[in-house]
Chains A and B, each alone.
Chain A
Amino acid sequence: MDFFMQLLVGGLTVGFLYGLSAMGFVMIFKSSSVLNFAHGELLAIGAYFFLALAAWANLPIPIVFIIALGGCFVLGLLVERIFLRPLIGEPLIFVIMLTVGLAAMFKGLILLIWGGNLYTYPDFLPKILEIRWGMIRIPPVYGATFIIGTLFLTLFGLFFKFSSQGIYMRSVADNQRAALSLGVNVKRVFALSWAIAALVAGMSGMVLGIINGVNVHNLSAIGLKVFPVVILGGLDSIGGAIIGGIIIGLLETFTGGYLSPSLRDVVPYIVLVLILLIKPYGLFGLKEIERV
């Protein structure tokens, strides 16, 4: 029973992280219907920003966190401005290929600068966040993750619901042409959604780095695991991404715990193929999927 509980807790936290990582992906897909294959590399860049600032600049951790997030935000803006903006109106195939190219480029760049070694952050989280419950011990990182994750979710929920930029973003996601003709600055919305997505991705990258250590191979693998998560949750639903993430996380840890550890990394993709065959719009996605 303890083993089961340990797996359950582990799965829930891993899944929550997957969900958080998938949030940025969904945001880009919603506003510009671009599948971002460079998402894992955005995660990694966030984690390495944090690492570089924390290790070399010797600033207090909260300030480092905020500066790194700002860096990710600017990076997202730049990526959109330099690489994505010229492709507006081009066939989607080029845009998807471009993100594949960007992924390879970023990954190579990170490997050239930092190498493929595993780095760990200095231990800085307060011990108060540690939860003990019988035999189960939840490390402080998970508590912190949960708090940060919920905070971001609420903030973005409020942002999309009430702020004018958030409403513009939703309108573009709903119908780009109508939004454009009603005077929404679609270009700015694209830029903003890439920036926010990079920020969220960077944040999840940092959290993942705190838990598992920073390694570009692991982080870009998680970036690809976003696909099963969002397909399960529905490609255009942020809430679905969180729930899909939790389901995939639970599935992974239970397969790893009870069946075989090597099957762990493949299970999400098997689920992905099954869902594509059975229920392609996912659990919470819009059903108006284009069938051809």
Chain B
Amino acid sequence: MRKIHLHPCGNFRERYDRELTVFSTDFGRLWAGIGLMILFAFVPLLASPYMMYIFNMIGIAAIAAIGLNILIGFTGQISLGHGAFFGVGAYAGAIFATALHLPMFVSVPAAGLVTAGIGMIFGIPSGRLKGLYLTIATLAGQFIIEYVLIHWESLTKGTMGITLPPARLLGLPIAGDIGFYYIIFIALAGMVWIAINLMRTRYGRAFIAIRDNDRAAEGMGIPIFPYKLLSFGISSFYAGFAGALWAFYMGSITAEPFNLGLSVEYIAMVIIGGLGSISGSIFGAVFITLLNETLRFATELLMNTGIVSQSGLNVAPLREFVFGLAIVLFILLEPRGLAEVWRIIRSGFRLWPFSY
């Protein structure tokens, strides 16, 4: 039986691998276990179908947001095309499932790989230039991909969209929201595990070095172009994976949702959650999805009770305004996002009654 790690009353780390541990205390490990248990054992039993739908949306958004955070938060490259890459994943998954009749557990990762490849094409300009130019290149990518999704009719069926066959896993049909809940959250847990551990390897450290100072990183012998491209590929893989899951969950897709607005939504998740924090991306996904649903609920309520009489009140502009406001306020007031807020709350508990 090894010694239980509790909070030390100071920083007594002697070796670098102690610095790298995922859980600094055994309490963290315990809470993570309890959290996973609640997530997998109790939530599906207690939640209503609508709640399950929201949970599933959060799960999918969280996978994509983690991908974007690897790019923006850890490598310091801004992408404005994440929504389009999500769309590429959705279409790739749908095409694999309909044209090639691949099973779901093959076509979803395959869609991720396809998206990674396409993402890397748009990442090439960043290899030669500073991060700013990647932002512009991905903006172009957003528009080009949108155009291709609508106009490559032989492959994507244009504006008709693609209807996917019912999702099956290992021959068993997936039963509604609860079945998808397990798939999405097991995938999310896996993706979180990969992302956290990726950031502890030399690749993750190289990404962080590039973010902090690209010249110094180059000087220390990190080949910047391959690493930036790799980061872009990984980020696109996450987006494509999430997109393909989304396509299977929705059952049919059109090119419409994958617009610049979706990209901004993912950026909002990453900023609000906290740059450079995996748990932050999940917070961001929860925040934005709940914000979406709350706004929808609130506008419906206002319309029904007659406070707002004109029929012109639409959710979309209000949502856009609130998203923008949320991004701006978080950048101005808490640039490190919800992850930092959570850390402050946690340490407040730990230090109680002497918290400051």
**A-to-B contact residues, CB < 8 Å:** 35, 37, 83, 86-87, 90, 92-94, 96-98, 100-109, 111-112, 115-116, 224, 227-228, 231, 262-263, 265-266, 269-270, 272-273, 276-277, 280, 289-292
Contacts and interface: CB of A to CB of B under 8 A. Distances in A.
A97 B78 contact: yes
Contacts of B78: 93, 96-97
What secondary structure prevails in chain B residues at the interface with A? helix
Interface string B211-250: 0001100100000100000000000000000000000000
Interface string B123-161: 011001111110111011101100100010000000000
Nearest to A277: B125
B271 A105 contact: no
Nearest to A271: B140
A273 B122 contact: yes
A289 B137 CA distance: 16
B130 A83 contact: no
Contact of B129 (A86, A93, A276): A276
A227 B138 CA distance: 11
A93 B327 CA distance: 13
Given A102-B324, A104-B323, A276-B129, A231 B331 contact: no
Contacts of B331: 87, 94, 97-98, 101
Nearest to A104: B324
Contacts of A290: 129-130
B271 to A, nearest CB: 6
Interface string B269-312: 00100010000000000000000000000000000000000001
A110 to B, nearest CB: 8
B324 A101 contact: yes
Nearest to A94: B331
Interface stretch (B96-104, B108-116, B174-182, B313-321): B313-321
A107 B320 contact: yes
B74 to A, nearest CB: 12
Given A83-B328, A93-B76, A105-B324, A289 B129 contact: yes
A115 B313 CA distance: 9
Contact of B267 (A97, A105, A224, A263): A97
A106 B147 CA distance: 26
The 8 closest A-B CB pairs, nearest first, are A108-B321, A105-B324, A101-B327, A104-B324, A111-B317, A108-B320, A269-B140, A276-B125
Given A227-B139, A266-B147, A104 B130 contact: no
A266 B141 CA distance: 10
Given A105-B325, A276-B133, A269 B144 contact: yes
Contacts of B141: 273
Contacts of B1: none
Nearest to B316: A111
Given A94-B331, A105-B328, A228 B321 contact: no
Contacts of B124: 277
Residue from the set A86, A115, A272 with the largest chain B CB neighbour count within 10 Å:
A272
A280 B133 contact: yes
B45 interface: no
B96 to A, nearest CB: 26
A106 B322 CA distance: 10
A227 B140 contact: yes
A179 to B, nearest CB: 21
Contact of B128 (A94, A116, A291): A291
Contact of A269 (B143, B214, B268): B143
B335 interface: yes
A81 to B, nearest CB: 12
Contacts of A227: 136, 139-140
A291 to B, nearest CB: 6
B144 A266 contact: yes
B137 A273 contact: yes
B130 A112 contact: no
A291 B132 CA distance: 12
A189 B314 CA distance: 40
A292 B125 CA distance: 11
B167 interface: no
Contacts of A87: 331-332
A231 B132 contact: no
A104 B327 contact: yes
B144 A101 contact: no
A92 B128 CA distance: 19
A160 to B, nearest CB: 24
A103 B139 contact: no
A35 B132 contact: yes
Contact of A105 (B136, B151, B215, B321): B321
Contacts of B319: 108
Contacts of B188: none
28 contacts: A86-B332, A90-B335, A93-B72, A94-B335, A97-B78, A98-B327, A100-B80, A104-B320, A105-B321, A105-B323, A106-B324, A108-B322, A108-B323, A109-B321, A111-B321, A227-B139, A228-B140, A262-B147, A263-B147, A272-B140, A273-B122, A273-B140, A273-B144, A276-B125, A276-B137, A289-B129, A292-B214, A292-B218
Given A101-B324, A102-B328, A292 B130 contact: yes
B264 interface: yes
A203 to B, nearest CB: 24
A13 to B, nearest CB: 23
Contact of B327 (A35, A100, A107, A112): A100
B214 A108 contact: no
Contacts of A265: 143, 147
Given A109-B317, A272-B136, 11 more contacts: A93-B78, A96-B132, A98-B332, A107-B320, A107-B321, A108-B317, A108-B323, A108-B324, A263-B147, A273-B144, A276-B137
A289 B128 CA distance: 10
Contact of A35 (B135, B137, B140, B268): B135
A37 B215 CA distance: 27
